[in-house]
Amino acid sequence: MRTDPIELTKALVRCASVTPEEGGALELLADVLSQAGFVCARVDRGGIANLFARWGKKGATKSFGFNGHTDVVPEGDETAWRFPPFSAEEAEGHICGRGTTDMKSTDSAYEAAAVDKVKEKSPEGAVIEGEKMDVCLVGEPTCPNTMGEMMKIGRRGSLSAFITMPGVHGHAAYPHLAKNPLPAMARLMDRLSTTELDQGTAHFDPSTLAVVNIDTGNPTTNVIPAS
């Protein structure tokens, strides 16, 4: 019996694997792969759990790897969802749930294909330590309309930054006795987000900068924050 990527996708979506929680997703994948003869190892990277699975004897041939992620972003306001975000309900020919597109369906397709490929063969003493792949396919869902229209040969990379703007704490009724860091932070964020970082390359779009949060930890409306 072939591995059903649709059912596996549903099972993965039901794992509430919101970063940094593993949510049972890696355990599920490891169980399916182990039963097919893959040697699986859990690897911790910066507090985030990873799964490495190998089939075949290391060094016998060039190795081909599949790369993906099972973690998802928070679901936000669950009442705004048509279906519960981790229910994997089917509607109008779609599986609905957080991570269905990005990228648990890809993970399931990878795993189903890999398991079906090796099902008729015997594993050959897999090795995990010191592994290096010759070729790696990353299945991030970047194609806007049709499969394959936006294949890429790498990744731009990413950088996350935290900026602290110091001010002087004070009552909002006496702003001249305080120094409000928020207007200065807002102007800085505007300049950063409207500045051209580069012009991109033949293979990649220009780099972008997204401001995702400005926080003062201030629960009141009449106090100028300290930072």
d(CA 126, CA 55): 6
Q: Return the CATH class of domain 5-138.
A: alpha beta
pTM for this model (two decimals) = 0.75
Question: Domain coordinates of the chain in residue numbers?
Answer: 5-138, 170-224
Residue in the block written with tokens 């998802």 = 72
Same CATH topology for 5-138 and 170-224?
A: no
**170-224 classified as CATH 3.30.1330.60:** no
Read off the pLDDT of residues 181-197 as tens digits, 9 standing for 90 and up: 999 999 999 999 999 99
Angle at CA of residue 31, ends 100 and 24, nearest 5°: 50
State which residues of the chain have pLDDT below 50: none
Tokens of 227: 């930072």
| Model pLDDT, residue 62 | 81
